[in-house]
Amino acid sequence: METKQIIIIGSGPAGYTAALYASRAGLSPIVIEGHEPGGQLTTTTDVENFPGFPEGIMGPELMSNMRKQVQRFGTEFLSTKVSEINLAKRPFHIKCENGQEFLAETVIISTGASAKYLGLANEMQLIGKGVSACATCDGFFYRGKIVHVVGGGDTALEEANFLTRFADKVFLLHRKDSFRASKPMQERTFNNPKIEVVWNTEVKEILFDDSGVHGLKVYNNKSNETYDRKTDGFFLGIGHEPNTKFLKGQLALDDHGYIKTEGKHPDTSVSGVFACGDVQDPYYRQAISAAGSGCQAAIRAERFLEDQHDKTQKN
């Protein structure tokens, strides 16, 4: 079985940046990309908050460019997922869904976090066409418009408040008659004149045409009424789920499933295993912060390998 100095699990800005630094350091990394190479940015349209692109860039194009840059330095890519991993001892044992197995001296995990969706018809197809799960990413495009946000926790209320920087009106839809968000966040929301809360309301259908989303069909579970609401945009604020199920019992995770890292470093609870990107960051969740953490993870992995080599030489 082949032993690699470094294997990167996951792609996106974090994984590709980690691979860029690792490959330029001569570590010949393998990137196990998963079934959606490039991560969540491949489902977005215009990206205007990533440095270096004064006119913006399409999400899929940005990820394609990153991948090509990494490939230039000799990184190997596998379009499969990790089915099983054993981090109990080094070298770490990794099994892939396609049947390939590897041993790795170090592992970088950049599997990201997936936004939660309602499961409505056409919901995923309308991402970038009026449906979004990231106000920070897409809020700018709704300047002077009317938008709806669904959810009742801190995520939804944060999204709604952020969107008021751009939208003329933000309607916050919640299926219950009270929020589960923190009290300070609730007070901030109730005091924001641009936000109107619509209680006891569930979204049943997204209304759209060739130009994108133009309305929502909703159901009021108190009055038993179904009706349409006009909107220019529909934001999901029901949280994110880190892609860490394959790590259960292998690494220390927080209560929400995110990988715990050591202070300001990408080090995990297992020596030689590092995490970067959204899989360990429930706060920022931005392409630029993910890329930065990928750089950190690769540098830490490189120095870990150097330290191990030095110890071997001394012995």
- If one compares 264 and 188, the residue with the highest pLDDT of the two is 188
> What pLDDT is recorded for position 315?
65
Q: Which of 137, 232, 278, 281 is catalytic?
A: 137
Q: What percent of the chain has pLDDT over 70?
A: 99
User: Angle at Cα 65 formed by Cα 63 and Cα 69, nearest 5°?
Assistant: 115
CA dihedral 251, 257, 261, 263 (to 10 degrees): -140
What is the average per-residue pLDDT within 115-123? Answer: 93
pLDDT in tens, 139-174: 999 999 999 999 999 889 989 999 999 999 999 999
> What pLDDT is recorded for position 154?
87
- Most confident residue range from 32-41, 42-51, 279-288: 279-288
Would you say 257 and 241 are in contact if contact means Cβ atoms under 8 Å apart?
A: yes
pLDDT in tens, 204-263: 999 999 999 999 999 999 999 999 999 999 999 998 899 999 998 999 999 999 999 998
Residue 293: both structure tokens together:
């953490």
Residue 286 CA to residue 293 CA, distance in Å, equals 11
Model confidence band, residue 309 (pLDDT cutoffs 50, 70, 90): confident
Q: What percent of the chain has pLDDT over 90?
A: 81
Domains of the chain: 3-115+240-314 (3.50.50.60), 131-236 (3.50.50.60)
What is the average per-residue pLDDT within 276-305? Answer: 94
Residue 157 carries which DSSP code? H
Q: Which of 138, 232, 278, 281 is catalytic?
A: 138
> What pLDDT is recorded for position 74?
93
User: Angle at Cα 282 formed by Cα 279 and Cα 288, nearest 5°?
Assistant: 75
Q: Which pairing describes strands 273-275 and 169-173: parallel, antiparallel, or unpaired?
A: unpaired
Q: Is 134 an active-site residue?
A: yes
Sign for the pseudo-dihedral over CA of 129, 131, 135, 137: negative
Residue 180 CA to residue 53 CA, distance in Å, equals 39
Q: Is the pLDDT of residue 118 over 90?
A: yes
Residue 238 carries which DSSP code? S
Spatial neighbors of 76 by CB under 8 A, at least 6 apart, are 28, 29, 30, 31
Would you say 107 and 291 are in contact if contact means Cβ atoms under 8 Å apart?
A: no
Model confidence band, residue 137 (pLDDT cutoffs 50, 70, 90): confident
Spatial neighbors of 111 by CB under 8 A, at least 6 apart, are 9, 10, 34, 242, 243, 244, 277, 279
Provide the 3-class DSSP secondary structure of residue 71.
Answer: helix
CA 51 vs CA 42, 54, 149, 282: distances in Å: 17, 8, 28, 22
Q: Which of 46, 96, 134, 276 is catalytic?
A: 134
> What pLDDT is recorded for position 284?
86
Q: What is the mean pLDDT of the chain?
A: 93
What is the average per-residue pLDDT within 184-197? Answer: 96
Sign for the pseudo-dihedral over CA of 267, 37, 125, 212: positive
Q: Is the pLDDT of residue 88 over 70?
A: yes
> What pLDDT is recorded for position 283?
84
> What pLDDT is recorded for position 240?
85
Residue 288 carries which DSSP code? H
Least Cα distance to 227 among 212, 205, 211, 209 occurs for 205
Residue 261: both structure tokens together:
């890292």
pTM of the model: 0.80
Residue 217: both structure tokens together:
């069909």
